[in-house]
Structure 1
Amino acid sequence: MGLRLPTGDGRVEDYRLIGEPVAQGTYEPARSRLAFAAAHVVADPLGDNSPGRPAVIDWEHTLEFRRHLWSLGLSVAEAMDTAQRGMGLDWTATQELIRRSVAEAPTHPRTVGAAGKRIAVGVGTDQLPTGVQGLDAVIAAYEEQLALAEEVGAQPILMASRALCAAAAAPDDYRKVYDRLLGQSSRPVILHWLGSMFDPALEGYWGSDSLDTATDVVVDLINENAGRVDGIKVSLLEASREVALRNRLPEGVRLYTGDDFNYPELIRGDETRHSDALLGIFAAIAPAAAAALEALDDGDLTKYEEVFAPTVPLARQIFSAPTYYYKTGIAFLAWLNGHQPGFGMVGGLQTGRSLPHLAETFRLADAAGVLTDPELAVTRFRQLLVVGGVDA
């Protein structure tokens, strides 16, 4: 089975599929790690999802995708940057997404376990208008979103805030905001450190352009609030820096890796500690993630590596610079695998990657065994290529 794919040097070449799809089925939640997949949203193909317009969501397929993740034993990180927070998903749609997903979670048998309902939701400040806000406005915006998480009974993820990054003049400003929020949450929260490669507006988060200084700030914050912090999700794409931070966390506080380049080694861990997972790539490679985590539970590190290793080149492709367009690759694979009817995205973000980029994503997804229905994937991508002017 094959098709003609564009290459990065302006040619079109014949390509024959080579991958063996990872075995499908249902999985129990991992016993040795907590694993959240940050889920995307499916755009309504009949809605006006052009840039700048309010998001119109296909709720049936959006929620079905979450049921798919739960069936694989994965937890759901809802309304995160993978769901296009600040890149097409407005606050009105975000509120409905959170309410619908949390209402769905308790009805699913896989949602009971170590992570409670096995859903956590992003709490941010993206309802604020563009422009520099004062710290009080930032706190009020966070509090509004935290109140929603409290109302629906979901674990909050205190997302890194563009507004806070713009308003804060020093590390003490971050401490003021986070101390206030941590004191209001009824359950331990997940903190969120998103590097500037994911969002350039977050450059200098925690009050310093030095990552060493920023690390000191966040470690001090966690030490002072250890009983109120479940863990911190770190997305800096530097494995050594994540390990160094992980080793400084107080006992009982988790490091949730958000490193979509180095997740196999970080989740496996070392003789001292390991990272749990809160990853956008897990939405794209969900069956492989489930199989690898099952192997890790069983102590079969050979299989763990065999399953995860071919997914890493795919992850590095999807999250290649400009990294903030990784959401396009997530939605692309969801479409190829039949989880949504079209390749549209809210905010028109399906245009964030070129056809040659998507063609390489297709090759690597095939090699990783995450094209769950290769015939469907070929048919769908061939249609997109034809529309794009490529004889496939």
Structure 2
Amino acid sequence: MSGFSFQHRRDLDIFLNINHFKMSWDKGHCAEMTMVCLTDFEEYAKQHLSKTTWEYYAAGADECCTRDDNLLAYKRIRLRPRILRDMSVSDTRTTVLGTEISFPVGIAPTAFHCLAWHEGELATARATEAVNSCYISSTYSTCSVEEICAAAPNGYRWFQLYLYRDRKLSEQIVHRVEGLGYKALVLTVDVPYTGKRRDDFRNQFKLPPHLKVKNFDGMFQQQAGSQEVYGTPANTLDPSISWKDVCWLKSLTQLPIIIKGILTKEDAELAVEHGVQGIIVSNHGGRQLDGVPATIDCLPEIVDTVQGRVEVYMDGGIRTGSDVLKAIALGAKCVFIGRPAIWGLAYKGEEGVREVLQILHDEFRLSMALSGCRNVAEINRSLIQFSKL
């Protein structure tokens, strides 16, 4: 759907009517399906999204080695369960930045939710609010920060931020989200340039005309016919971003700042020295530099480096509740899922995202119980054994 251009208004109207009918038809028929695990949602999304949209979400950089290793790395980790520990009661609750959430899984910042479901980020926000978790809304949302807040006024939200060559754009959105009650800024630092996602080049990916990056609606001065990259004019991201910009960002806001995209102990130490409140260990879902380690493999050295001075979170490759358990055991305070939330949207909108989160919650609780962990505080590195395979 995202790969063709509309020549006339009539074509757009036909597209929207067909798309609305398709979503309504799918909603009625997918209700008959039993979704048992996240792979079921993945298969549904692959079958029902357009080829261009599916490949945009699924894409990794270059040969997709890192994207795939994000998944495979969990299979190299074994669990060492403890037994006879009275598992009649268990508690999955935890806190992030002092706020309690129902279990240590949130929604990572992912772009263009309206490509997967007509309500887009509004549905994602409502689902996350309903299960009492954390939603990191993306700069590249197809709904505005104001619309997201109105849809889920009691939700716990952070905002993911990029820095642009025109710093006024970033500054304006920081003030907007702070005024709306977002609880943290998540500064993504691994995109001085966009990684090469081959399928997007082959498909000449672009947003369909009826969708926009709503947070910047009317803010970019774009000339007719100029090149566009992922919904914004080309060359808007600032490749000169450096640690001094973290200091600049701190001067703008009282919100906690979390750095997303750290993979080394050296950068983790620098982040602490620059006064951030959190680190998200992330390789951008394998969409930036191909050949870097899986995030779960990077996690222990970063946790060991920061020594509890800031909270450490992680994204990338989470597909089961036991994956969550392994990440928490290796020191993550919370993990965030990206693609699985999109699959849930494609399946049944808000209800689909809630199902994805509920399945992960139930699997996590079961993995805790079978491992002898009665609460999140009891999950630690003694639970982990690395496979020699």
TM-score range, shorter chain: 0.3 to 0.5
Q: Which has the higher contact order (CA 8 A, sep 6+)?
A: 2
| TM-score, scaled to structure 2 | 0.45
